[in-house]
Amino acid sequence: MSRIGKKAVGIPTGVSLTLDGQSVTVKGPKGQLAWTVCEEIALKLEGAELTLTPRDDSTRARAMWGLSRTLVNNMVVGVSTGYEQTLELVGVGYRAAMKGADLSMQLGFSHDVNIPAPAGITFAVPRPVEVKIAGIDKQLVGEMAARIRKIRPPEPYKGKGVRYAGEAVRRKEGKKK
């Protein structure tokens, strides 16, 4: 039995969840998200709780049970509170700035790196060495943060690069004489 799958998805006030066969649509103060649950999972909406159960005892049904519950819960949390990821720029001359809705960063290259904001994602630069990525889709926020980090990942000798807030970078010892 899936410990995660057994939990019901709580629907907070201000959020509406509608079922249309296997598709789940969640509307909230921050926006709307939709996703289609696989056929092996049965959905049951009772009051302010959504319960997911596997239709049979197959391996795929058990594997998709906890995953489906987590993805629906992420949708509910996203439209009610949203998700945010913070990146830090570490290095001399590394800084970020906003150009309209797009993000412009100086990362030690001969050119500025401009990143357009995809639909559903907003960038914020509270300090020149800090970038905040916000949105209602957890997967899209995490993917955008990973793409930005991949442009200049932290290197192990000086620790320079783009890193997640609070990320510990393993440092290596430099060469000796």
- Is the pLDDT at 2 greater than 80? The verdict is no
| DSSP β-ladder status, 41-46 and 49-54 | antiparallel
Binned at pLDDT 50, 70 and 90, residue 60 comes out as: very high
Distance of alpha carbon 50 from alpha carbon 43, whole angstroms: 7
- The 10s digit of each residue's pLDDT in 36-51 is 999 999 999 998 999 9
Closest CA to 54 of 39, 70, 75: 39
Residue 97 lies in a domain: yes
Residues 93-132 pLDDT 10s: 999 999 998 999 999 999 999 999 999 999 999 999 999 9
Average of per-residue pLDDT across 54-80: 93
Q: 10 Å Cβ neighbour count for 77?
A: 19
Q: 46: domain range?
A: 3-80
CB atoms under 10 Å from CB of 134, counted, come to 17
Judge whether 170 lies within some domain. Answer: no
Residue 139 has pLDDT above 80, yes or no: yes
Q: Is residue 8 part of a domain?
A: yes
* Same domain for 88 and 66: no
Average pLDDT of the residues in 151-166: 94
